[in-house]
Amino acid sequence: MRGIVTLQQPSPRGSHLHRHSSPQFSPAQQQRPQISPPGGGRRVTHEEFRSAMATVVNQSDPRNHLEALSKIGEGSTGIVCVATEKHTGRRVAVKRMDLRTQQRRELLFNEVVIMRDYHHDNVVEMYSSHLVGDELWVVMELLQGGALTDIISFTRMDEDQIATVCLSILKALTYLHSHGVIHRDIKSDSILLTLDGRVKLSDFGFCAQVSEEIPRRRSLVGTPYWMAPEVISRLPYGPEVDIWSLGIMVMEMIDGEPPYFSDSPVQAMKMIRDNSPPRLKLEHK
């Protein structure tokens, strides 16, 4: 059955939050079968959604153990601050999102659950999540190296650098796939770096769970230019779609942008679906 998709308004390529100038598609209902917000097919009220979030977040007030909170960025879902943990002195990032203003609230629920349950050296670490009034606060490791997108936008990566990114993300995907988790939004926006060059996967709102009972998915989910053909065609798919998206991200690292980036998202999706796999547009030695 065809699901409903929502279209995110484009935002400038290069900003630290929601950086890519391409829309994202997501199902109206989350696909992770064992954990999902209440409501079934009906619209969930703010109170119901807040109650659902309360079941998966920490019950403490983060303001009691964080200090020197200062804003460093802003995106379509909320703001990002840096803060210091009082008892450890550790610097952390704090994402603050107003539940009442979210266009896709279910993605917040999904991301919190995924980051709470799965931990790996190449996956961004969430330390805790909290409800502060009607805001969701996510306390996570501070990655001061920025996003891979920022590097791609301003410099040409060499082969060793590209190989390092690929190895790190393949390790993260191997871990997630071994637990039946499909990321479904692999792209340079979703890759964050530390100052010492470590590479980490982030942005888990579009994740889906597969299992023996539900081994394949059909939802149209992700960011168009990086989508696998079977996702666009709504054919049954599994973790292999993340590998396609990683391949497109490799082309992005080499060419500076993914294939068909000059075309509209809809036109790009048609060409990905109907054409042979894309090739690099530049000649490389």
- Residues 108 and 162 occupy one common structural domain: no
- Residues 108 and 191 occupy one common structural domain: no
- Residues 153 and 126 occupy one common structural domain: no
Whether residue 242 is contained in a domain is answered as: yes
- Residue 171 above 50 pLDDT? yes
What is the spatial distance between Cα 19 and Cα 189, in angstroms, rounded to a whole number?
Answer: 6
Whether residue 27 is contained in a domain is answered as: no
Whether the predicted model's global pTM rises above the 0.85 cut? no
- Whole-number mean pLDDT of the chain? 86
Average pLDDT estimate for 191-195 = 94
- Residues 61 and 155 occupy one common structural domain: no
- Count of domains forming the chain: 2
78 or 10: which leads in pLDDT: 78
Indicate the pLDDT class of residue 25, thresholds 50, 70 and 90: low
User: What is the structure's pLDDT at 39?
Assistant: 52
Whether residue 24 is contained in a domain is answered as: no
Cα–Cα nearest to 126, from 107, 141, 136, 143: 141
What is the spatial distance between Cα 213 and Cα 33, in angstroms, rounded to a whole number?
Answer: 10
Strands 91-98 and 126-132: unpaired
- Residue 22 above 60 pLDDT? no
Q: Is 237 helix (H, G, I), strand (E, B) or coil?
A: strand
Whether residue 49 is contained in a domain is answered as: no
Q: Is 279 helix (H, G, I), strand (E, B) or coil?
A: coil
Cα–Cα nearest to 163, from 228, 261, 249, 255: 249
Tell me which residue has tokens 């330390």. Answer: 127
Q: What is the CATH number of the domain that holds 234?
A: 1.10.510.10
Whether residue 239 is contained in a domain is answered as: yes
Given the residues 185, 189, 203, 242, the one annotated as active site: 185
- Residues 158 and 136 occupy one common structural domain: no
- Residues 131 and 175 occupy one common structural domain: no
- With both helix axes pointing from N to C terminus, report the angle between 159-178 and 240-255 in degrees, rounded to the nearest 10: 160
Tell me which residue has tokens 């009442």. Answer: 100
Can you read off the two tokens belonging to residue 141?
């490791």
Cα–Cα nearest to 251, from 273, 217, 214, 284: 284
- Residues 222 and 115 occupy one common structural domain: no
- Residues 266 and 153 occupy one common structural domain: yes
What is the spatial distance between Cα 81 and Cα 139, in angstroms, rounded to a whole number?
Answer: 10
Whether residue 20 is contained in a domain is answered as: no
- Residue 41 above 80 pLDDT? no
Average pLDDT estimate for 106-127 = 93
Which residue, of 142, 170, 185, is where some domain finishes?
142
| 99 phi and psi angles, rounded to 5 deg | -65, -25
Which residue, of 89, 115, 142, is where some domain finishes?
142
Which residue, of 109, 142, 175, is where some domain finishes?
142
- Residues 171 and 131 occupy one common structural domain: no
Average pLDDT estimate for 88-112 = 90
User: What is the structure's pLDDT at 282?
Assistant: 66
Whether residue 39 is contained in a domain is answered as: no
| Annotation marks residue 185 as catalytic | yes
- Which range, 3-7, 10-14, 76-80, 97-101, is most confident? 97-101
Indicate the pLDDT class of residue 26, thresholds 50, 70 and 90: low
- Residues 171 and 239 occupy one common structural domain: yes
- Residues 120 and 134 occupy one common structural domain: yes
- Residue 259 above 60 pLDDT? yes
- Residues 123 and 152 occupy one common structural domain: no
* 95 known ligand binder: yes
pLDDT in tens, 208-232: 999 999 999 999 989 999 999 999 9
Whether residue 19 is contained in a domain is answered as: no
Range of the domain at 156: 146-274
- Residue 62 above 60 pLDDT? yes
Q: What is the CATH number of the domain that holds 69?
A: 3.30.200.20
Q: 12 with 21: CB under 8 angstroms?
A: yes
